[in-house]
Amino acid sequence: MEHLPRRLATIAAAIALVLAFGTIGFTVIEDYPVFEAFYMTLTTMTTVGYGEIRALSHAGRVFNSFLIFFGVMVMFLGVGGITQTVIELELNQFFGKRRTKIMIDKLKDHFIICGFGRVGRGAADELRKAGVPFVVIDHSEERVERAIHAGMLAVLADATLDQALQEVGIGRARGLVATLASDADNLFVILSAKALNSKLHLSARVDEETSQDKMRRAGADFVFAPYNSTGHRMAQALLKPHVHQFIDFTTGGAGPDVGIEQVRVGATSSFADQTLAQVNMQHDHGAIVLAIRRADGKMAFNPSPDAKIVAGDHLIVMGETDRLQKLEHLLAGSFA
């Protein structure tokens, strides 16, 4: 649709050119004042039939004949171009919505981002880097267009409505991120989402500290206060700059080649029932095991080499992205 602005600009320029040509012609040939010349040109182009302001000379009528021909032709082309533009916009919007609906209907185990403000955009960027499917829902047309232009799947709707959540496939979704403007709206979204899909993993942002407990009681698995977190990180950067640099390094500051992942040990994995020393994770697979989250929910930080890997555990590992992806398949049992 990038050609539409150019088309409208061309139509406007053609009409302005004919108006200027007619105004100058009547001023020079018939000695009309500028406004009367402009008015005469305008009534001629629009074919309203008011008649001549003053009787035209022979030269004036010859000039006006050419003006009628070219002026009316430009006006008709302009009306036709504008009509075509409106129709294209309507059709594009219709088929765009239909295409979006088809794509959403195909989604499964996807994520839903409610709100595409600064926090929502950050969440969307992270999900896109991870290569997982997600859909954005926002009530602002400008934000939805921004998401679409960025190549994301987005829907214009009110996320606090059950119907809107159902339209983005909440029953088949894996998780939801609530980043709406107010804590009340985010709380409402969490309650609605939990009622529509009890297995959904929910993450919510809050502005007020007093809202954190309410959000967790409503069903949010993770609650974030962006302003408080930013303040803590700013202070930590001054007090412990090396620690801050390491955290920034491990959470994306090092670039796309290094990261931290959680990988699950599958029942058919050759790693199951072996110790970290036996699998030699760092040497053979280029990964550092930072922690092990046991199936019962307990977290073992900096596990010893004789720590046993059990099916159902999640290993928190750090390393190069491509090697972590291979490790994930191995731990899941894909290459077993």
Whether the CB-CB separation of 53 and 40 falls below 8 Å is answered with yes
pLDDT value of residue 335: 42
Q: How far apart are the first and last CA of the chain?
A: 50
Query: What's the pLDDT tens digit per position in 302-312?
Result: 888 888 888 88
CATH 3.40.50.720 fits 107-230, yes or no: yes
Does residue 214 sit in helix, strand or coil? Answer: helix
Pairing type for strands 314-320 and 258-264 reads antiparallel
State residue 180's pLDDT score.
93
CATH architecture of 3-102: Orthogonal Bundle (1.10)
pLDDT in tens, 213-258: 899 999 999 998 877 777 777 887 788 887 777 777 666 554 556 7
Please state the rounded mean pLDDT for residues 43-62: 80
**Verdict on whether the full-model pTM lies above 0.85:** no
Tell me the average pLDDT across 270-280.
84
pLDDT at 1 over 60: no
**Residue-range domain boundaries for the chain:** 3-102, 107-230, 256-332
Rounded distance between C-alpha atoms, residue 319 and residue 312, angstroms: 21
Tell me the CATH number of domain 256-332, given options 3.30.470.10, 1.10.1740.10, 3.40.50.300, 3.30.70.1450. 3.30.70.1450
Rg (CA), the chain: 32
Q: What is the pLDDT of residue 275?
A: 87
Of residues 112, 126, 122, the one with CA closest to residue 178: 112
Question: Which among 294, 293, 237 is positioned nearest to 260, based on CA atoms?
Answer: 293
Which has more pLDDT, 8 or 316?
Answer: 316
The vertex-244 CA angle with 181 and 254, nearest 5°, equals: 85
**DSSP label of 250:** I
94-147 pLDDT tens trace: 666 677 788 888 889 999 999 999 999 999 998 998 889 999 999 998 999 899
